[in-house]
Amino acid sequence: MLIEISNLTKKYIMGEMEVPALIDINLQIKKNEYVAIMGPSGSGKSTLMNILGCLDTPTTGHYFFNGTDVSTLDDDSLSAMRNKEIGFIFQNFNLLPRLSSLQNVELPLIYSGVPAHERKERALSALEKVGLSSRVGHKPTELSGGQKQRVAIARALVTSPGILLADEPTGALDSKTGEDIMRLFHDLHQEGNTIILITHEQEIANYADRNIYIKDGSIHSDQINGNKTQVKQSSSLINIQ
Ligand SMILES: Nc1ncnc2c1ncn2[C@@H]1O[C@H](COP(=O)(O)OP(=O)(O)O)[C@@H](O)[C@H]1O
Ligand SMILES: [Mg+2]
């Protein structure tokens, strides 16, 4: 089992108040699953993503990643694991504005000490995979929203992580560009990647094989998606906008 969460609770402390953001979550995700986590605003989706991505720790309960109890890791091992095993994709891309596409994609490899020539080679190949070979020298301001998200996806892929974690990846894009990005996720899943996608839109969740619905911090339902969107065209072959 790639991800195993048992009896997990997360409370935020605000002054004298405790805000229960996640309540008794139990969840298992296998390698190469494609899962969408859904729920209304404030239901706990981002809190769960932060815990899955080792950016935050549970208040109680356990999170095992590839058999390792994440709560037993010290800060250095945790950030090493985050850098190696988790590819993050955010709604607002989170690219560094002064860096080119290539430099943005190279960043995680710099943190993990990969030598310069290998870094460049791997970053170029990740950019090729997302269909952006012709934009490697562009800065984020010189790219469209969809292209920026492709750079962010290349940056997430470049370390060959165990999971791709995407929080509302199409939230800042128009629906046509959002579809292109979802086709790219489809291809990446076909190639063997494990994808966990967070969204409040059923239309986006329909691209995934499994839909988990969170309500008020608890898992309300967890089902195979019987309404899966059929994707035919390979995104790397289409002309990107
Ligand atoms: N840093 C924080 N401090 C206090 N409360 C928080 C914090 N982050 C989130 N919350 C609260 O936890 C609940 C879940 O938030 P969140 O995980 O961001 O939901 P979602 O991503 O589904 O919109 C909400 O009630 C929110 O107000
Ligand atoms: Mg959120």
pLDDT surpasses 60 at 238: no
182-233 pLDDT, tens digit per residue, is: 999 999 999 999 999 999 999 999 999 999 999 999 999 999 999 999 997 6
Ligand 1 atom nearest residue 50's Cα? 17
Ligand 1 atom nearest residue 14's Cα? 4
Pocket-testing residue among 8, 10, 11, 12, ligand 1, by greatest number of atoms within 8 A of Cβ:
12
161-183 pLDDT, tens digit per residue, is: 999 999 999 999 999 999 999 99
CA dist., res. 132 & res. 236, Å (int): 9
Ligand 1 atom nearest residue 19's Cα? 5
CA dist., res. 218 & res. 50, Å (int): 16
Pocket-testing residue among 47, 48, 50, 165, ligand 1, by greatest number of atoms within 8 A of Cβ:
47
Name 60's bridge partners: 9
Element counts in the chain: helices (H) and strands (E): 7, 10
CA dist., res. 68 & res. 2, Å (int): 10
116-126 pLDDT, tens digit per residue, is: 999 999 999 99
- What residue's CA is closest to ligand 1, atom 24? 42
Q: What pLDDT score does 236 carry?
A: 55
Q: What pLDDT score does 126 carry?
A: 97
Q: What pLDDT score does 72 carry?
A: 86
* Structure-token pair, residue 172: 């800042």
Q: How far is CA 74 from CA 4, 20, 113, 148, 186, in A?
A: 19, 25, 20, 33, 35
